[in-house]
Every structure is written in structure tokens, then in C-alpha cells.
Amino acid sequence: MHSGVEARLEQQARYADAELRPVLRAQRYITFYLEGGLVQVEGSDDYEPHERDHSPRGKIGGFSAKSRGRLISLCARIRKGTTALFLTLTWPGVWSEKPCEWKRCLDVFLKRMHRAYVDASAIWKLEPQERGAPHYHLLVFGADFIPHQVLSEWWFEIVGSGDERHLQAGISIEAVRSREGVMHYASKMYMGKTIEGFSGVGRFWGVFNRGKLPLSQAVRVEIAQPVLVHFQRIARRFIQSQMKASFLWKRALGKRVRWHRYRCGRPARVLVGNPVQWLRVGEWAEDEFQRRSKAAGHPY
């Protein structure tokens, strides 16, 4: 018998088994960030409950795909219409090879910013340059304008380079006035070669003054596991259509891109333009599940 047929029959048997109905009806949660662009599914996608692994986290080895996903999710929770400053901090021609010194410089810089701009918050990300030197990218919220000269002097003093050229070119700052700009920052990922001295640096991104971040209002909706299956099928098709549109757009621009099929059957994160519409999708999934259950004779 074909493996796909076996899996389908097994699934049907599990739905029909009366002893498993309480497990199948176990509640899951979907969080809609109405002022942002994120729909987040909480809880396991499995039918049987399982114990969560509480083993301690291992040593950070780099900017992993999961870490990148968490960064994207956080940026997708930023309220629409929020303005930000995109700030880059670089080192001079000679820099320390100790990662702890890099983090110390950033910590001192953020403390100075907090004293001068109490309501300011930021998301920072550490990246290596081609020459091997570290540099930071920051999305700064809560400060519409910060003089370039002030930031240059702060960073020049903190790094202690003594190079006047670094005083003039040690930082760059520009305004980010669109949500696309914020998400472009979040999705940027260094994919180059492993650079000597860039291992064991610890966290590659973090948040400063989290309580002041302009995050969207969250609406948490309880949903039954079988209904969640219908919801995630719609989400999967939506993500596939978005990926295809992006692929065709890049190819029309003459870029050499390769098509990668989306293989996640039950996505837990959906980046959307209007989360309110996805509240209606959840209602439709509930109605569709009830209709199919009655047609199949399931007493849910």
C-alpha cells in the first residue's frame, strides 16, 4: 500500500477514535498583532501532547535560521507608521579582537543614548565586514532626530581610536520611514565565509529598552486543534503565493534567482499586511470544520 494512503487512513482512524477526541479538541492559540504585520500560532502542532525539552541552551555558534526568525517576528510586531533611525557603528582600521570589548562599546553607547533620550529604544545586530572588523546596525525608535555630530563624538570616545578619519566616518545614520525598510533590516542575513575571530561572540542581535519598543496590540484567540489545521492550510497557500510573487518580481528585474518550494506544512508564523482580515479567516476555518464534521457524522 502506498505510504500516502496509509497516512491518510491512519489520520481518519485517529479522528474516529472516541478516546482521542479530547486530545483532538485540545485548544491552541493564535495571536494577531493588529497594528503590525504578524500572525503567530502558539502551541504544538502534534495531536498527542508531549513534554517540552527544558535542557539548557548550548553555546551560541552563529546567527542561526531560528535566531533570524525571532528577529523577523519581533520587527513584524512593530506598529505600522512608526518611524525609526537606521544607525551603523563601525570600527577604525585597528580594532580589538576580543568580542567582549565589542559588546562593552555597544553597552556604553546605549547607556549614553538612554541618558540623553529616555524614551529611545533600539534593536541591534552585530555583523562582520569584509575586512573582518565588526560593525553594528541599530534600529532606533522614540527619537525622531539625533545629531550626527553628537553620535560621532560618543562613538569616537567610546572606541578610543584617536583617528580623526574615524571621527568623521565612524557612524552613519538615516531615517527609516516605511515598514518595508524595517522588514528589510530584519531579514538581512550575513551569508559570507566564516571570518577568523568571529566565533564565540555570543548573541548576534538584541533589544535595548524593550519596554519602550512601539509594539502592536496583541489579540490572543483560542482555537481548537482541528480548526487550526484548516487555518494553517490557508496560511501555507498564502505564503506560497507570496514567495511565487517575489520570485517572479525578481526574475522580471533580471536577477538570477532560484525557485525554492515552500515545504512547511503547518506554518507557525505568517507575515501579513492586514492581520484583521486573518481574524475572519479564523472564523471561516471554524465554520468549515463544523460543516465537514457534520457531513462526516462526527459528533463534535
pLDDT digits (tens, 9 = 90+) for 129-169: 877 788 888 999 988 888 888 888 889 888 887 777 888 88
Residue 54 lies inside a defined structural domain of this protein: no
CATH number of the domain encompassing residue 207: 3.30.70.1910
> Do 259 and 172 fall into the same domain?
no
Residue 246 lies inside a defined structural domain of this protein: yes
> Do 82 and 208 fall into the same domain?
yes
Mean pLDDT of 166-184: 76
Sign of CA dihedral 93, 60, 204, 257: positive
Q: How many domains does the chain have?
A: 2
Q: For residue 84, what are the domain limits?
A: 78-212
| Helical pair 179-187 and 65-76, crossing angle rounded to 10 deg | 170
Q: Which residues of 162-198 are buried (b: 16+ CB within 10 A; e: fewer)?
A: eeeebbeebbebeebeebebbbebbeeeeeeeeeeeb
The three-point CA angle 112-116-120 to 5° equals 90
Specify the higher pLDDT residue, 25 or 214. 214
Residue 25 lies inside a defined structural domain of this protein: yes
Residue 190 lies inside a defined structural domain of this protein: yes
The 10s digit of each residue's pLDDT in 5-30 is 777 777 666 555 534 444 444 568 89
CA 267 to chain centre: 13
- How much is the pLDDT for 3? 58
> Do 88 and 207 fall into the same domain?
yes
* Cell 492550510 found at: 233
- pTM, 2 dp: 0.78
Last residue of a domain, one of 212, 244, 279: 212
> Do 188 and 89 fall into the same domain?
yes
Which of 41, 39, 42, 38 is closest to 76 using CA atoms?
38
| Helical pair 148-159 and 99-116, crossing angle rounded to 10 deg | 140
Which of 185, 180, 198 is closest to 63 using CA atoms?
198
